[in-house]
Amino acid sequence: MRDDEIIIRVAGAAGDGVQSAGQIIAKTFSRKGLNVMTYNYYQDIVRGGQSWYQVRASGGKVRSQGDGLDILIALNKDGVERHTNPDINEGGASPLSGIAIFDKSISGYTERKVTYVPMPLSDLASKHSSFALMKNTVAIGAAMAATGVDFDTLSSVILDVFGKKGKVSEQNVSAAKEGYDYYLSNHKPTGKKLSFGSKRKYLIGGGEAIGLGAVRGGLKMYIGYPMTPASSALHYLAAHARDFGVFVKIPEDEISAINMTIGANYAGARAMTGSSGGGFSLMVEALGLAGMMEIPIVIYESQRPGPSTGLPTKTEQGDLNLVLGASQGDFPRIVLSPRDARDCINLTSEAMNLAQEYQTPVIIMSDLYLSEHNETVDSIDPEFRIDDGRRPVDGEKDYKRYLITESGISPRAIPGQKGLMHNEDSDEHDEYGDVVSDAETDPTKRVAMMDKRMRKLDTLLRKMPPTETYMLADAEYAVIQWGSTAGVTEEAIDILRGKGHRIGAIKVNRVFPVNPDIGKLCSGKKKIIVVENNYSGQFNRLLKAELGLKTVLVRKYNGEAFYPSELAAMIEVKIW
């Protein structure tokens, strides 16, 4: 752990206000100009159990939830016991090594080598409100005092969060000040040297970033049925639909959602849908319809552990096989997997254009870890060039909707376009869209049309930007990761470099078609290690099939994300 960073964890039962407290802390740090990353550990219940919300903040770069724990705010006895006990491993999280703030009424816990700060949280809160959860605000005030954050910044965040609740806002500010002053009068600060900045950072969630990226890419309609963890994008777009000029529709199920989305895109509106693995499974047949009719569509697929309902509130990268093989037969598809919130914005904007240009399904694969955590970005560029792809001119003579071209991309007219007739069908067809199997299948036309569609992938590969790397230039060993494990992989590389290992990373966010440059980047490496948040190594299998790479696999599939030291140790074993 570094002196220029702080890691705070709020722990308690579901219904204790754990997430709300954590988000106030994250917003306060971001307003002080710190880089922030959060981690949301929660259960699939409304009340009870054990949940926690972790905030990592630093003036330097923050790429994961980090290792270690400086401050614990425990809202119940279980929180004190669980997060100070080195024998309990919550998916890889480190136990507390700093201070534990909790209500003085909590007793009977096993004392360990941490600094216990029992405070009269409830008593201080009761001065301002009879609402039991007000004690959380007192604890937040104490934690901010311990880190050296000025109270005015915390106060401004609380007023923003509770701004529409009148008296409640004032009560929360007063309660936070009680905790702030009490801590300064009775306890010592952490000693951390945080480099506060004068310019506030933008704090954004992964699902929000997906929604914002879609709007930036010209989104006009979002049609989705709620399913964790894809719901965060739906909620964000629904809340801001009027601001963005986007129509948001919640249909009766995911089958309706994708069919409505296909219809909207067919009519010329940029539309998108989204779900998790279970909902995406229901979309499979319609996905093939879009592939055959060459209708652009963007699908946001946010992964959680399966099969079936699996672990609804946990994370995994277990849906790649599903996405690559969804629907019968062969047709081109594009699969993107963002690495962080900024990548969510940029890749989703790009996906909106790619779908239009290549007239094929584009699937954005995230996961619960990325979709439901918050992180800071310095700025968001609103500029993005909308590209509608190849369109015919009005009244074009001998218009062929499925014209056979070298690129595989045919001119796509919009219904109502002057002088152009539509003839699009879910059956195999010729260039005009006429079905080729009504009386007798024409095998030559089938081959020609199949080749045309699949050539889109070759065209895309020729335009694909180089795969990004980290510390790879002098590396003897290469780590390949995809999607949300990018940041933690970089931190693991830093740890291993510090131990003398010459190792670097290949960071993949364009999953399919597979960029051949990955194979070139691996050339000459002593060992290639693939990092995945699933059991079977689904991307590892794809790399072997597409590029013939000889790899070893590092995997985690307990429902939680990798931690830097944990991942570094797992990779180091594979090096030997």
Q: Classify residue 538: in a domain, yes or no.
A: yes
pLDDT of residue 149: 97
Q: CA-CA distance, 99 to 94, in Å (whole number)? A: 14
Q: Are residues 325 and 221 in the same domain?
A: yes
Q: Are residues 209 and 336 in the same domain?
A: yes
- pLDDT for 193-251, tens place per residue? 999 998 889 999 999 999 999 999 999 999 999 999 999 999 999 999 999 999 999 99
At position 501, the amino acid (one-letter code) is H
Q: Classify residue 421: in a domain, yes or no.
A: no
Q: Which of 351, 377, 403 is the last residue of a domain?
A: 377
Q: CA-CA distance, 171 to 162, in Å (whole number)? A: 10
Name 381's Cβ contacts closer than 8 Å, sequence gap at least 6. Answer: none
pLDDT of residue 14: 87
Q: Are residues 483 and 541 in the same domain?
A: yes
Q: Are residues 32 and 71 in the same domain?
A: yes
pLDDT higher at 558 or 91: 558
DSSP labels, 232-289 = HHHHHHHHTHHHHT-EEE--SSHHHHHHHHHHHHHTT--EEEEE-HHHHHHTHHHHHH
Q: Which CATH number do you get for residue 368?
A: 3.40.50.970
Q: Classify residue 385: in a domain, yes or no.
A: no
Q: Are residues 110 and 156 in the same domain?
A: yes
Q: Which of 191, 223, 250 is the last residue of a domain?
A: 191
Name 276's Cβ contacts closer than 8 Å, sequence gap at least 6. Answer: 227, 228, 229, 230, 301, 302, 303, 304
Burial tier of 186 (Cβ tally within 10 Å: 0-12, 13-18, 19+): exposed
Q: Which CATH number do you get for residue 53?
A: 3.40.920.10
pLDDT of residue 245: 97
Q: How far is CA 37 from the centre of its chain?
A: 12
pLDDT of residue 166: 77
Average pLDDT value for residue range 1-27: 93
Phi, psi of 40 (to 5 degrees): -110, 110
Kind and range of the H or E element at 352?
Answer: helix 341-358
- pLDDT for 406-462, tens place per residue? 999 999 999 999 999 888 889 999 999 999 987 778 899 999 999 999 999 999 999
Asked if residue 371 lies in contact with residue 232, where contact means CB atoms within 8 angstroms, the answer is yes
Q: How many domains does the chain fold into?
A: 3
Q: Which CATH number do you get for residue 515?
A: 3.40.50.920
At position 423, the amino acid (one-letter code) is N
The torsion defined by the Cα of 206, 516, 546 and 520, in degrees rounded to 10, comes to -110
Look at strands 271-275 and 221-223 and give their pairing: parallel
Q: Which of 317, 349, 377 is the last residue of a domain?
A: 377
Q: Are residues 285 and 364 in the same domain?
A: yes
The domain containing residue 505 runs over which residues? 468-575
Q: Are residues 162 and 105 in the same domain?
A: yes
Q: Spell out where 465-551 has E strands.
A: 468-470, 477-482, 503-508, 510-512, 527-532
Over 90: is that where the pLDDT of 518 sits? Answer: yes
- pLDDT for 448-497, tens place per residue? 999 999 999 999 999 999 999 999 999 999 999 999 999 999 999 999 99
pLDDT category of residue 522 using cuts at 50, 70 and 90? very high
Three-state secondary structure call for residue 298: strand
pLDDT of residue 213: 98
Q: Classify residue 423: in a domain, yes or no.
A: no
Q: Are residues 50 and 174 in the same domain?
A: yes
Packing angle, helices 486-498 and 564-575, rounded to 10: 60
Q: CA-CA distance, 524 to 512, in Å (whole number)? A: 24
Q: CA-CA distance, 554 to 540, in Å (whole number)? A: 10
Instruction: State pTM to two decimals.
Output: 0.96
Packing angle, helices 341-358 and 206-216, rounded to 10: 40
Q: Classify residue 112: in a domain, yes or no.
A: yes
pLDDT of residue 1: 63
Three-state secondary structure call for residue 508: strand
H-type alpha helices, 85-192: 121-126, 134-147, 151-161, 167-186
Q: What is the mean pLDDT of the chain?
A: 95
Q: Classify residue 389: in a domain, yes or no.
A: no
Give all strands of the β-sheet with 374-377 in edge-to-edge order. Answer: 115-119, 99-103, 71-74, 5-14, 48-58, 35-41, 374-377, 202-205
Over 80: is that where the pLDDT of 117 sits? Answer: yes
CA R_g for the chain:
26
Q: Which two tokens stand for residue 152?
A: 């005015």
Q: Are residues 116 and 67 in the same domain?
A: yes
pLDDT of residue 248: 98
Three-state secondary structure call for residue 69: coil
Asked if residue 84 lies in contact with residue 99, where contact means CB atoms within 8 angstroms, the answer is no
At position 28, the amino acid (one-letter code) is T
Q: Classify residue 422: in a domain, yes or no.
A: no
Q: Which two tokens stand for residue 538?
A: 């689904």
Q: Classify residue 445: in a domain, yes or no.
A: no
Q: Are residues 161 and 218 in the same domain?
A: no
pLDDT of residue 382: 85
Over 90: is that where the pLDDT of 174 sits? Answer: yes
Q: Are residues 212 and 356 in the same domain?
A: yes
Nearest to 10 by CA among 54, 62, 67: 54
Q: Are residues 97 and 163 in the same domain?
A: yes
